[in-house]
């Protein structure tokens, strides 16, 4: 059954990839495609002349959405089987991959409490995003190719989550990177989309180098890559402890997680990845792929429980990323870029929880974040769809009455991420703040203070986004305003479901469900009396963010403008995203391009390699030319040469006589 969960989306990819290739110009783009503008603002692939669809859209929809839903049903069935078996993990070997000496490498799947939670999110939220895409991509001629890519992504993500060994997980890890590249650059006619896909792919390869080194060290020390066996090995102490540094391995694995989950300094790919279709942003950059790094650290908690140095690094990087991304989100004007930096910030909260030993709480925030951030991204997609492609919030406003379902669901998700009780984000974020303050595994008032300031900024920039998009006077052009319309039921129905989950998801109490597998850290006994005041303070911070956004953007526009002018330098720094991309361009990209051009290309390739080969060829050619002059076809010239040869031979013989 576990194997079937993984293979069903792969079957969808194969069916749509083979049978629906003609419905969008092919599974892989060929030739020159013509671009137009779809109602949702993305370029439409009009295909090539003479393409006749093998199958129609109904087939693509049934396969593309039905098989992920069937995987979701099988995950639910596996969860029931797990419960019936007393929560003993389910293990299923698909086949033997390789046998090297006495080492066996298997494609095996592992299903426990943590796997169940992640698989439910991947298949559940993933399926509803597939359904949303039916309406969002309805006018795109690459409809079949899009669903084939979505199914491929889901296959690799399930391989990552259900894989028993790090090796199988790594195949899924790399696979979601490939699928992300294909989906981000889906509208490849636009050069910016193609560049964004390449940027995401290459940046993640940097982190993957650390992941591979960590895997090599673990295999060398333990002789296995099965994650349950690795955790068990690190649970022992004394002479039975693995002959490898837990902190070293933990940091190497975290480097991989840093790339996949967009933490400092490898965060730069995720905001640019918003270039793809909005359902891609919701699926990959909110609910699934970017949380793979969080899942990896939680899955390998047996290592990190014995690696306080690595845990401290994770907590520090996490809280720094959360604060940094929140400051950038304060001034963004692209509706999807605000949500992108919000995602980076929320991922920082998750790593903060992991760093202080609250692994179950981090997964809890993964789940609630999947609900409200998917709702926010898809809500943004509904806005873009309604406005014919407009993404600048400065050109919106007054949409609450025009697209009421989108507005209500977006408002619920906004309140959830801001931490307004009793919505989902309040419960998971408050747990993170509490353990950041009181955990005996590295919690401190400093971590809490930075995280609390980030929570305040989160509430502010999210309500700012809500206000600029839906409330206040309309700033749309007359042409855009004339075409504003609510999205179809396939989109609004998904928004309502996700808004409901964003409202009630906090009552799932996932940390307690996961506690037998991911124990919560101990709390400093001297800090227990701070728990309730900090809870009240977190609510106050959320309400303060709401009030600040209402004051600045609910009144005269001059208020916000005056604040921008007063802090013009800071505003320029934040709107420029601290100019980190420019720093990378100047100090990393440009020097590498110079070395590649001047040293490797001009000196190494053209002068040494090409010069040597071309020089030898030229020497042979010149020698052949000189010898060729001897062959003139003139008899008297040949006779003269023979005579010269005889004279030379006689002279040589005379001198040596």
Please give the average per-residue pLDDT across 340-349, as a whole number.
Answer: 95
* pLDDT tens profile 562-571: 888 899 999 9
Higher-pLDDT residue of 55, 9? 9
pLDDT of residue 240: 56
pLDDT of residue 599: 85
- Quick check: 346 pLDDT over 90? yes
Can you tell me the distance from the alpha carbon of 531 to that of 634, in angstroms, rounded to the nearest whole number?
A: 109
pLDDT of residue 237: 53
pLDDT of residue 98: 85
Can you tell me the distance from the alpha carbon of 110 to that of 621, in angstroms, rounded to the nearest whole number?
A: 66
Pairing of strands 43-45, 90-100: unpaired
User: pLDDT band at 28, cuts 50/70/90?
Assistant: low
Percent of the chain's residues with pLDDT above 70? 93
User: pLDDT band at 36, cuts 50/70/90?
Assistant: very low
Q: What is the helix (H) or strand (E) element at residue 460, kind and residue range? A: helix 445-470
Decide if 129 contacts 276 (C-beta within 8 A).
no
* pLDDT tens profile 7-24: 999 999 999 888 875 544
User: pLDDT band at 33, cuts 50/70/90?
Assistant: very low
Please state which of the ranges 62-76, 83-97, 278-292, 389-403 shows the lowest mean pLDDT.
Answer: 278-292
Can you tell me the distance from the alpha carbon of 510 to that of 528, in angstroms, rounded to the nearest whole number?
A: 22
pLDDT of residue 49: 37
pTM (whole model) above 0.95: no
- Quick check: 433 pLDDT over 60? yes
Decide if 347 contacts 321 (C-beta within 8 A).
yes
Decide if 541 contacts 452 (C-beta within 8 A).
yes
- Quick check: 39 pLDDT over 50? no
Please give the average per-residue pLDDT across 232-237, as a whole number.
Answer: 78
Q: 478-509 burial, b for 16+ CB within 10 Å, e for fewer?
A: eebeeebebbeebbbbbbebbbebbbebbebe
User: pLDDT band at 25, cuts 50/70/90?
Assistant: very low
- Quick check: 63 pLDDT over 90? yes
pLDDT of residue 190: 82
Q: 236-249 burial, b for 16+ CB within 10 Å, e for fewer?
A: eeeeeebebbbbeb
What does DSSP assign to residue 243? Answer: S
- Quick check: 361 pLDDT over 80? yes
pLDDT of residue 14: 93
Q: What is the DSSP string of 16-84?
A: HHHHTGGGTTTTTT-S---EEE-TTSSEEE---TT---SS-HHHHHHHHHHHHHHHHHHHHHHHHHHHH
What does DSSP assign to residue 372? Answer: H
Please state which of the ranges 58-62, 282-286, 300-304 shows the lowest mean pLDDT.
Answer: 282-286
Could you count the other beta carbons within 10 Å of the beta carbon of residue 655?
7
Q: 2-37 burial, b for 16+ CB within 10 Å, e for fewer?
A: beebbbbbbbbbbbbbebbbbbbbbbebeeebeeee
pLDDT of residue 250: 94
Please give the average per-residue pLDDT across 601-605, as a whole number.
Answer: 82
Decide if 498 contacts 371 (C-beta within 8 A).
yes
pLDDT of residue 454: 97
Higher-pLDDT residue of 629, 385? 385
Higher-pLDDT residue of 632, 575? 575
pLDDT of residue 362: 96
pLDDT of residue 504: 95
Higher-pLDDT residue of 633, 11? 11
* pLDDT tens profile 65-93: 999 999 999 999 999 999 999 999 999 99
């Amino acid at each position: 059954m576990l194997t079937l969960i993984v293979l069903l989306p792969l079957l969808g990819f194969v069916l749509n990839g083979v049978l629906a290739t003609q419905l969008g110009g092919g599974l892989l783009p060929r030739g020159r495609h013509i671009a137009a503008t779809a109602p949702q603002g993305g370029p439409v692939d009009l295909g090539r002349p003479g393409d006749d669809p093998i199958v129609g859209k109904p087939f693509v929809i049934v396969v593309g959405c039905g098989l992920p839903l069937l995987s979701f049903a099988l995950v639910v069935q596996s969860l029931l089987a797990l419960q019936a078996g007393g929560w003993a993990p389910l293990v299923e070997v698909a086949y033997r991959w390789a046998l090297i000496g006495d080492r066996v490498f298997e494609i095996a799947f592992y299903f426990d409490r943590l796997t169940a939670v992640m698989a439910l999110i991947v298949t559940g939220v993933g399926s509803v995003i597939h359904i949303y895409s039916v309406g969002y991509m309805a006018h795109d001629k690459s409809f079949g190719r899009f669903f084939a890519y979505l199914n491929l992504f889901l296959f690799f993500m399930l391989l990552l989550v259900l894989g028993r060994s790090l090796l199988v997980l790594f195949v899924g890890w790399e696979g979601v990177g490939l699928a992300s590249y294909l989906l981000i650059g889906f509208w490849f006619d636009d050069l910016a989309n193609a560049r964004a896909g390449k940027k995401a792919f290459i940046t993640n390869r940097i982190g993957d180098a650390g992941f591979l080194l960590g895997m090599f060290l673990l295999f060398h020390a333990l002789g296995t890559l099965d994650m349950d066996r690795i955790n068990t090995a690190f649970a022992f102490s004394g002479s039975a402890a693995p002959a490898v540094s837990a902190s070293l391995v933990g940091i190497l694995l975290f480097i991989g997680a840093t790339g996949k989950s967009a933490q400092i300094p490898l965060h730069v790919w995720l905001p640019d990845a918003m270039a793809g279709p909005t359902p891609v942003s919701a699926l990959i950059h909110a609910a699934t792929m970017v949380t793979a790094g969080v899942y990896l650290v939680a899955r390998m908690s047996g290592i990190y429980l014995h690696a306080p140095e690595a845990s401290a690094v994770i907590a520090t990087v996490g809280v720094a990323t959360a604060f940094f991304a929140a400051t950038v989100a304060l001034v963004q004007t692209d509706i999807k870029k605000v949500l992108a930096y919000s995602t980076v910030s929320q991922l920082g909260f998750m790593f903060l929880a992991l760093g202080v030993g609250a692994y179950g709480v981090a997964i809890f925030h993964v789940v609630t974040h999947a609900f409200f951030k998917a709702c926010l991204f898809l809500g943004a997609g509904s806005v873009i769809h309604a406005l014919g492609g407009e993404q600048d919030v400065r050109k919106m406003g007054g949409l609450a009455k025009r697209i009421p379902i989108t507005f209500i669901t977006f408002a619920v998700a906004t309140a959830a991420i801001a931490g307004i009780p009793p919505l989902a984000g309040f419960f998971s974020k408050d747990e993170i703040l509490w353990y950041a303050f009181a955990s005996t595994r590295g919690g401190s008032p400093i971590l809490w203070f930075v995280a609390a300031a980030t929570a305040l900024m989160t509430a502010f920039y999210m309500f700012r986004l809500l206000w600029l998009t839906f409330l206040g006077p309309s700033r749309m052009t007359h042409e855009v305003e004339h075409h504003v319309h609510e999205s179809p039921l396939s989109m609004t129905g998904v928004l309502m479901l996700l808004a409901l989950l964003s409202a009630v998801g906090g009552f799932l109490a996932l940390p307690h469900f996961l506690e037998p597998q991911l124990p919560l850290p101990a709390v400093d006994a001297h800090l227990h009396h701070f728990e309730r005041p900090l809870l009240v303070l977190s609510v106050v911070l959320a309400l303060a963010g709401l009030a600040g956004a209402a004051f600045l953007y609910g009144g005269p526009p001059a208020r916000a403008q005056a604040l921008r002018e007063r802090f013009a330098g800071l505003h320029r720094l934040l709107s420029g995203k601290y100019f980190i991309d420019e720093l990378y361009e100047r100090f990393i990209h440009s020097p590498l391009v110079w070395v590649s051009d001047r040293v490797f290309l001009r000196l190494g390739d053209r002068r040494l390699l090409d010069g040597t080969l071309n020089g030898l060829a030229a020497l042979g050619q010149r020698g052949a030319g000189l010898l060729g002059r001897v062959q003139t076809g003139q008899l008297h010239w040949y006779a003269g040469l023979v005579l010269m040869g005889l004279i030379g031979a006689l002279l040589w013989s005379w001198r040596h006589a």
